[in-house]
Amino acid sequence: MSYQVRLRRLAAAMVVAAAVGAVPFVHAAARPPKLDYTMTTLPNGLNVVFLEDHSTPIVHLQIWYHVGSKNEKAGRTGFAHLFEHMMFK
């Protein structure tokens, strides 16, 4: 058997192995895990989403503000961008 034939067979086998090996990952990515979270609103109106996960000893916090340039009034634009730079300086 020539070198080129062996190389083609090896390449074909690698493509098939990669395709077969990727199937479980594609299936797993299609179904995200169900998360058991709690939502509540504090007296000041802040919405809080809380999820406990004791699999690792870490704490993670995200803060999202529902404000920005989309909420600015005509003639008073640019403040969201200014405050962004002031907050993360």
Cβ pair 11, 19 in contact under 8 A: no
Count of CB atoms situated within 10 Å of the CB of 84: 13
Identity of the residue numbered 2: S
pLDDT of 23 above 80: no
CA 18 – CA 24 distance, rounded (Å): 11
pTM above 0.75, yes or no: no
pLDDT, one tens digit per residue, over 24-70 is 665 656 777 888 899 999 998 888 999 998 899 999 888 887 778 88
Active site (catalytic) residues: 84
Cβ pair 29, 22 in contact under 8 A: no
Count of CB atoms situated within 10 Å of the CB of 53: 9
Residue boundaries of the structural domains of the chain:
3-87
Q: Which of 1 and 46 is assigned the larger pLDDT?
A: 46
Per-residue pLDDT at 64: 82
CA 76 – CA 83 distance, rounded (Å): 13
Cβ pair 79, 69 in contact under 8 A: no
